Structure 1
Amino acid sequence: MSRRPAGPGTPASVAASLVSDLPRALRLTLLGGLLLVGGAMAARAQDAGATADAAPAADAPAEDDLIVSHGYSFYGDLKYPPDFAHYDYVNPDAPKGGEISFARLGTFDSMNPYSIKGRAGTLSWIMYESLLADGPADAYGEAYGLLAESVEYPADKSWVIFHMRPEATFSDGTPVTADDVVFSHNLLLEQGLPSYAAAVKKRIPKAEALDAHTVKFYFADGISRRSLIDQVGGVPVWSKAWFDETGARLDESRLETSPGSGPYMIDKVDVNNRITYKRNPDYWGWDLPVNQGRHNFDTIRVEYFADDAPAFEAFKAGEVTFRSEGDSKKWASNYDFPKVQNGQVIKADLPDGTPPTPAGFVFNLRREIMQDKRLREALALGYNFEWTNESLQYGLFRQRASFSQDTPLMATGVPEGDELALLESLGEIVPPEMLTEEARMPHSSNGERLNDRRNLRRAMALLDEAGWPVGSDGKRYNAAGEPLKITFLFNTAAEGTLGAVIENYIKNLVAMGVDAQLEKVDPSQYTLREREFDYDMVYDSYASFLGAGTGLMQRFGSDEAAFSVFNPAGLASPMVDAIIDAALFADNKADEETALRALDRALRHEFFMVPLWYNPSYWVAYYDEYEHPDPLPPLDLGYLDFWWFNAEKAAELKASGALR
């Protein structure tokens, strides 16, 4: 799970919550690549258009210009050799068996995570595989063959051929073929997320099956080759025959699912209550190196609760066996029950080597009122991190500043060297102050009281300057007599510490003369409002980045800003677009990192989010029937991936009555 701010659940958006359920290594790949998991937030179908166009003409590469490999990374530097037996961090002898269960808040009414309609169940993507496997959790930006046994491409990466494993089958016993791959690719363009389809159509004009187990993708001329091979290699592969027979669509809400080719399959679905997945004993890929020591639990059970109070009680009672904690109050004071004291429940603070999720109070820039940066800066000054952390969060958090916090890609100080040269080369789209000022940092506050008077005075001066003076009633109005009214959308499923934080933030806004309203809505209404961008402010998140990829445009780019569910602020900045382009077209690692450092600086300068806090580690609690590698790999907690079940310990817990 990602490094989350305090609060019982994931960051606010459903899309973010579904992405947080992905294995960490896969999510890190998605930080650069295009996101296609809609989390029940995909938009209506768009015309596939370019998929039927002829492939671009290209001279046949010389034979010595071809690269054939068991895996792929953009720079060709793979950690694992062709004959590797397993990832270094797994236990290849981990026993198979047992169950792991965890809680989710809210409701679900669909098992299709790629549609705007309905609320998709947690892990509803788990049965589908792709040509390339999840990247290993100890090597960023690498992927190894899964449905494909090898990948072939020229040095200029103008196309790619995947040679598939003929033994791969769906759970119904039918073979996975190149036709299924092409069908899945085109289905996402026709019925998937608009932001995904728009980006892919520009870059991938054609996919074709060369034979039953060989598929080729062609890439457009004049574009960055970044994220193209790993993008098409990461597309889930669905059964064309099943969709043809059932007439099902990717953009509809449904509980019926197509057969997958992965190690897990659906066992039982109890709408709004429970989902159980089971290991497929006939899974075709158990012997693959990428699967050794992984997928160890016989069953994965997801229990749904309306809010976190009953979810926590279910964990204490042994109905739920694993908990990833995000609420600082609970972590500090509620894990003193007898099972923790006697060792039946393990409370662990485990290291996390990834940059924290950039969560915060997001301004909806689609609203005219939010276009004025002075207004946004004034509203931000109402947040008091120091008081919040000490008074509500037990001093357990650090203040986040960057979209690549605590990594070499975090912009610091005044731009200099190659970064300064890059920014200067972009001309007038870069504000002059960005060339001479230090990277934006969050404001500091007096932690002794909620309403830091110094910051409130600064905020009120900014509001005056922005044309919102105080009226005779103490509230702020513009020249037309309209009140300064701000609506903050909040999901009731995220009550608890997060709710208290936002309520106190609202108090400071009101003290400035802002008519600030906290709109608490149930999860279903919240999902609908977020889909329609119906808010002035919202607690939400973006993705951090460790590398360049076309997904950066999907999250931060102008072209998809009006409709991308992964850009809750609606950020549209020519400067950000140009810097992303520089990162995508970088031909070496040093230039890529320079551009990404400049991107972090630019995103912070645009100021579309009030940065909040982060936890540099994982807070987890689990019954002492699970074991994991020690040390953990740097890029994944991996509790659903490479942890395993100890049957003897489980028997002791059940005999003692600790587990139900």
Structure 2
Amino acid sequence: MNMTLRNRCLKGFGALLLAFAGLAAAEPKHAITLYDEPAKYPPNFTHFSWVNPDAPKGGGLRLAGLNGFDSLNPFIPKGNSADQLGLIYDSLTFHSPDEPFTEYGLLAEQIEKAPDNSFVRFYLNPKARFHDGKPVTAEDVVFTFNILTEKGDPMYRHYYADVSKVVAEDSQRVRFDFKHPGNRELPLILGQLQILPKHWWETRDFGKTSLEPPLGSGPYRIAKVDAGRSIRYERVKDWWAKDLPVVRGYYNFDVITVDYYRDMSVALEAFKAGQFDFNLEYSAKDWATGYDSPALRAGKIIKESITNHNPTGMQGFAFNIRRPVFQDRRVREAIALLFDFEWANKQLFYSSYKRTGSYFENSEMAAHQLPDAAELKILEPLRGQVPDEVFTQVFTPPVSDGSGIIREQKRRAYQLLTEAGFKIENDKMVGPDGKPLTFEFLIAQANLERVILPFKRNLAELGIDLQIRRVDVSQYINRLRSRDFDMVPATWGQSNSPGNEQMEFWHSRSADSAGSRNFIGLRDPAIDKLVEGLIRSDSRQSLIEHARALDRVLLWGHYVVPNYYVDTWRVAYWNHFQRPGSTPLYDYGLFTWWVKPGMETASQSGQNQPEPDSQ
């Protein structure tokens, strides 16, 4: 053997040894974390610290939904699916709401991922059963993945785009191989797959909406459906997973019912009348004054603000930059200057909100300071492709004195529009093309109009015509999916470990995807690079740096009119409930609550309830 051939063989053998060493280093675990840090709970833990492991079972929980539903399939981009359908399904893993990103085994009693994150293998619990008694197998996992990526909402294709293949190695083992190593988040995201029964769906059209109750394996099954008006879930008392440590202390209600109302104001009146039990309040006005009632004064209704440690993300009025009128950054900035948050907060919101100034608000990932050296290293290759302010200024939304007089903002807005070629003609702001600056704000909820109307008045004073168009929910959803809008209210929620979902939010490849949340219509190579870099982050610090860099570029693009946020959950509930003494950092833990013993009344068990408000 000549030396060249010998050296090649040795190198090949060495590479093979390294590959085997990598495989040998992978071992099944009870939990996986984003950066391979130890999970908070060891393999032999008995329950999470925020639950009452001995919480009594029984009684019922009645919730409110809005605007009805016409589908029991939440996985497809059609129809308006019913609330709480996740209760009927089990996922491969259970997401810990007390850790930034840790997944513990549920359907999968063990998880094994490659040291280089090139694959993940799930070992299914042999006890796992669907509600018809048939076992959950690896074939069901493969079927679920394939049907979601082929016929499900387009977001699944974005989420799982880096999966090259999924293989059922035997009845209890399933392996996902990735196109590229290094995607730390993908094994955890795959663990969140809610597994569907292959034998049930094989005889049905997955791509169509349906009101037939689907088969699941979760803690509840659908017991009754009143199309568009209510849905009733009943606890599966012989649920296969009821003794697992990850769910001990959870799912204590025998019955969970969701009744639907026309809008939030009608629902609030129904809550005060005792027609449902728990309300998560989004309206500052209602939180301040709307709950006043004999029941509240008598202590029958309890109001609490529970600290929310989650990033609040971005809530704002989103520009559709597919529209020619919004393609000039100066026009978008000018329009955003005319939203007077301070006045709205004082006059409409009882000074209860904070102004959103980041796409990762309420977290360490928010770019609330100048970029440091590590962040500049990420941004420097993009100089000239991103706004110059990214490197030199901290983005802050305009601030008024709250009087309603915003002369400085109007002057600056007029200056920007003039620079963009606009001028005033006959009291109308007219563009370089001779057309008036006018656009439509699309909404589905009436209560948002009181926030938009002052914004509309400020725009009108500069000759800009904003038309508010309120449509029903089904039309609203269809117009969102077809991108048939100028401006819409939008929210991009963020987790403590952002990752693949950023592709669906901001990446070019999601711009034309009807089901994505790229409402803005972003097609920016610089933003694409930042998103891809964030997903490939190999440490928590790197994730923070990439998130801040992305945040700056999005903010200085003026793609939204930033709104406001609150860093608590505002919850109101009737006093026949008890909850554990502590809550996890990132959830208010509703499904760890229980009905006080002795208070399982007929209404609490879901019987003889008042009729919900008709649609």
The two structures share one fold, judged by TM-score above 0.5: yes
Pair 1:474-2:427 in alignment: yes
Question: Partners of 1:195 and 1:231 in 2: how far apart?
Answer: 13
1:159 is aligned, of 119, 139, 151, to 119
Pair 1:228-2:186 in alignment: yes
Q: Could you say which residue in structure 1 is the equivalent of 2:245?
A: 289
Question: Is 2:121–2:174's contact at 8 Å kept on the other side of the alignment?
Answer: yes
1:231 partner amino acid: I
Q: What do the CA deviations read for 1:240-261 (whole angstroms, capped 9, x no partner)?
A: 11112x2321x21111143101
The answer to which of 85-94 and 64-73 deviates more is 64-73
Q: Could you say which residue in structure 1 is the equivalent of 2:69?
A: 108
Pair 1:182-2:142 in alignment: yes
Shift of 1:196: 2.5
2:524 is aligned, of 554, 570, 573, to 573
Question: Partners of 1:413 and 1:352 in 2: how far apart?
Answer: 23
Shift of 1:611: 0.9
Pair 1:240-2:198 in alignment: yes
Q: What do the CA deviations read for 1:164-200 (whole angstroms, capped 9, x no partner)?
A: 1111000011110010000101111110122421552
Q: Could you say which residue in structure 1 is the equivalent of 2:511?
A: 561
Q: 1:383 to 1:104 in 2, by over 3 A?
A: same
Q: 1:652 to 1:216 in 2, by over 3 A?
A: closer
2:315 is aligned, of 319, 339, 359, to 359
2:508 partner amino acid: S
Question: Is 1:208–1:217's contact at 8 Å kept on the other side of the alignment?
Answer: yes
Question: Partners of 1:280 and 1:650 in 2: how far apart?
Answer: 18
Q: 1:62 to 1:635 in 2, by over 3 A?
A: closer
TM superposition score normalised by structure 2: 0.92
Shift of 1:428: 3.8
Pair 1:552-2:508 in alignment: no
Pair 1:643-2:614 in alignment: no
Question: Partners of 1:157 and 1:524 in 2: how far apart?
Answer: 41
Q: What do the CA deviations read for 1:45-101 (whole angstroms, capped 9, x no partner)?
A: xxxxxxxxxxxxx94445642232111112222111100111111111111111111
1:490 partner amino acid: I
Q: What do the CA deviations read for 1:115-144 (whole angstroms, capped 9, x no partner)?
A: 2222111122321112111x1121111000
Q: 1:479 to 1:436 in 2, by over 3 A?
A: closer
Shift of 1:457: 1.9
1:546 partner amino acid: N
Q: Could you say which residue in structure 2 is the equivalent of 1:298?
A: 254
Q: Could you say which residue in structure 2 is the equivalent of 1:311?
A: 267
Secondary structure at the counterpart of residue 513 of structure 1? coil
Q: Could you say which residue in structure 1 is the equivalent of 2:60?
A: 99
Shift of 1:652: 12
1:339 partner amino acid: A
Question: Is 1:196–1:554's contact at 8 Å kept on the other side of the alignment?
Answer: no
Pair 1:69-2:29 in alignment: yes
Q: What do the CA deviations read for 1:451-494 (whole angstroms, capped 9, x no partner)?
A: 412211221221222122110x2012223321111111011xx2
Pair 1:336-2:292 in alignment: yes
Shift of 1:653: 10
The answer to which of 304-313 and 58-67 deviates more is 58-67
Shift of 1:288: 0.4
Q: Could you say which residue in structure 2 is the equivalent of 1:442?
A: 397
Q: Could you say which residue in structure 2 is the equivalent of 1:31?
A: none
2:487 is aligned, of 537, 556, 581, to 537
Q: Could you say which residue in structure 2 is the equivalent of 1:499?
A: 449
Question: Partners of 2:543 and 2:481 in 1: how far apart?
Answer: 33
Q: Could you say which residue in structure 1 is the equivalent of 2:133?
A: 173
TM superposition score normalised by structure 1: 0.86
Q: Could you say which residue in structure 2 is the equivalent of 1:270?
A: 226
2:360 is aligned, of 404, 424, 448, to 404
The answer to which of 158-167 and 538-547 deviates more is 538-547
Question: Is 2:321–2:522's contact at 8 Å kept on the other side of the alignment?
Answer: yes
Q: Could you say which residue in structure 1 is the equivalent of 2:417?
A: 463
Secondary structure at the counterpart of residue 518 of structure 1? strand
Pair 1:206-2:161 in alignment: no
Pair 1:631-2:582 in alignment: yes
The answer to which of 267-276 and 347-356 deviates more is 347-356
Question: Partners of 1:124 and 1:612 in 2: how far apart?
Answer: 30
Q: Could you say which residue in structure 1 is the equivalent of 2:93?
A: 132
1:412 partner amino acid: H
Q: Could you say which residue in structure 2 is the equivalent of 1:11?
A: none
Question: Is 2:72–2:214's contact at 8 Å kept on the other side of the alignment?
Answer: no
1:217 is aligned, of 164, 168, 176, to 176
Secondary structure at the counterpart of residue 554 of structure 2? helix
Question: Partners of 1:238 and 1:653 in 2: how far apart?
Answer: 32
Question: Is 1:272–1:304's contact at 8 Å kept on the other side of the alignment?
Answer: yes
Pair 1:593-2:547 in alignment: no
Question: Partners of 1:226 and 1:587 in 2: how far apart?
Answer: 7
Q: Structure 1: where are the runs of 5+ without partners?
A: 1-57
2:419 partner amino acid: E
Q: What do the CA deviations read for 1:100-119 (whole angstroms, capped 9, x no partner)?
A: 11211112111111222221
1:415 is aligned, of 371, 392, 397, to 371
Bigger Cα Rg: 2
Q: What do the CA deviations read for 1:338-361 (whole angstroms, capped 9, x no partner)?
A: 100010111112211112242111
Secondary structure at the counterpart of residue 161 of structure 1? strand
Q: 1:217 to 1:63 in 2, by over 3 A?
A: closer
Instruction: State the identity %.
Output: 37
Q: Could you say which residue in structure 2 is the equivalent of 1:10?
A: none
The answer to which of 477-486 and 253-262 deviates more is 477-486
2:553 is aligned, of 602, 624, 628, to 602
Shift of 1:649: 4.5
Q: Could you say which residue in structure 2 is the equivalent of 1:490?
A: 443
Question: Is 1:424–1:430's contact at 8 Å kept on the other side of the alignment?
Answer: no
Question: Is 1:72–1:143's contact at 8 Å kept on the other side of the alignment?
Answer: yes
1:610 partner amino acid: V
Q: Could you say which residue in structure 2 is the equivalent of 1:53?
A: none
Q: 1:530 to 1:548 in 2, by over 3 A?
A: closer
Pair 1:453-2:404 in alignment: no
Q: Structure 2: where are the runs of 5+ without partners?
A: 1-17, 611-615
Shift of 1:601: 1.7
Secondary structure at the counterpart of residue 166 of structure 2? strand
Secondary structure at the counterpart of residue 455 of structure 1? helix
Pair 1:617-2:578 in alignment: no
Q: Could you say which residue in structure 2 is the equivalent of 1:525?
A: 475
